[in-house]
Amino acid sequence: MKLGQYQRELSVKERERKKERERHAVDKWGTRKTINNSSSSSSDSYKNIARAPVCTKADVATPLPLPSHAMESQGPFDALSDYADRYSSPLAPSLLKLYQDTLVAYPNGIAERLCSSPAQGQLLSLLARLKQPKQVLELGTFTGFSAMSIASGILQGQGQGKIYTCEKDEVALSIARPAFKSFNESISEAKVTIECHAINADSMISLMRSKGVVFDFVFIDCDKKGYLKYIQELMGERVGGVSDCNSNSTSLLADGAVVVIDNTLWKGLVLEAESSSNRSISRRNSSSNISSSNVSCSRTSSNRYMAIANSMHELNYYINHHPSLSQLILPIRDGLSVIQYNKKGN
């Protein structure tokens, strides 16, 4: 089915099923917008999409119930978000197919939680098109949608580049690898290539360090509690897991590199993490400086979600106070930070 036809059919169906959509919303990409744990409707808008092989979900952890104050959807902004989707440029056909394959292979809202949204993919694409990176690192491939989005942005800008991506889950890689293979084969003169490694992020950074690769574009989207560690490793402030602010280790980031980090507003719970951090700081009446140890986040909640929110707040605080980093946190979906690294400071 052609992209335009698919989108037209979807919007007709959306109009016809307004009531149902409110309960179980699906946008033009085929994405469920409301996660309410209700069972699938037999009239799912993406039921006609060609079925990809369904993978076992044994490796996908069952999510814990969200705290009641966490934001599951964008609430009143859903309608605006739908509008923005309707008037944003459509995904390239290869990306739309990969996204839809991911929805089918990871049903019941799992794909929507793990895969970048189409809007995020388009933002990555746009940034890559503007930046024209030569060497890209991605931590957390999943089924390859974000890596392919970056690749297509480089291509649209007539650039050349290599994307190194890593993923620890073989099930996700069973979808990403064929997509990368056909992408690599479709590009003449190897202008943009995607190299996928089935290893964890720590090993990937060590591997890249040993190869001496320096990156001008990085997307961090893997285990959320490791993000601060990864950015410190990339800047050479921490090597082999050991923190060293005075480290002379080479940075794996080129001057002016763009780093994009997902989940930085973590379900809105960073607000709570910030409040408890501030309470804790004022109790100790300590002065603030760049040390992330000053961000003493709440550990009172044993909730896994709050632990991640605390890590995200710590990361946001750290980046915001780092002299070589500037960042814009975009409140799209779970929060997406666009950061620039300038060695001599901003």
Ligand X SMILES: C[S@@+](CC[C@H](N)C(=O)[O-])C[C@H]1O[C@@H](n2cnc3c(N)ncnc32)[C@H](O)[C@@H]1O
The answer to whether 105 contacts ligand X (rule: CB under 6 A) is no
The pattern of x and - marking residues 219 through 248 that bind ligand X according to CB under 6 A reads --xxx--x----------------------
Q: Distance from first CA to last CA of the chain, Å, rounded?
A: 48
Residues 113-172 that bind ligand X (CB under 6 A): 114-116, 140, 142, 145-146, 166-169, 172
- CB of residue 109 to ligand X, shortest distance in Å: 13
- CB of residue 342 to ligand X, shortest distance in Å: 25
- CB of residue 332 to ligand X, shortest distance in Å: 13
d(CA 211, CA 209): 5
- CB of residue 118 to ligand X, shortest distance in Å: 11
Cα distances (Å, whole numbers) of residue 258 to 255, 310, 339:
9, 24, 6
Q: Which residue has the tokens 């793990």?
A: 114
The pattern of x and - marking residues 188 through 207 that bind ligand X according to CB under 6 A reads ------------xx------
For ligand X, the closer of residues 102 and 298 by Cβ is: 102
- Do residues 24 and 38 make contact, with C-beta atoms less than 8 angstroms apart? yes
d(CA 194, CA 190): 10
d(CA 32, CA 118): 12
Element housing 177 (H / E):
helix 170-186
For ligand X, the closer of residues 21 and 229 by Cβ is: 229
For ligand X, the closer of residues 261 and 270 by Cβ is: 261
Element housing 127 (H / E):
helix 118-131
- CB of residue 312 to ligand X, shortest distance in Å: 14
Beta bridge partners of 125: none
**Cβ–Cβ contacts within 10 Å for residue 91, how many?**
25
For ligand X, the closer of residues 92 and 274 by Cβ is: 92
d(CA 256, CA 341): 5
- CB of residue 64 to ligand X, shortest distance in Å: 16
For ligand X, the closer of residues 32 and 168 by Cβ is: 168
* Contact residues for ligand X, defined by CB under 6 A: 114-116, 140, 142, 145-146, 166-169, 172, 200-201, 221-223, 226
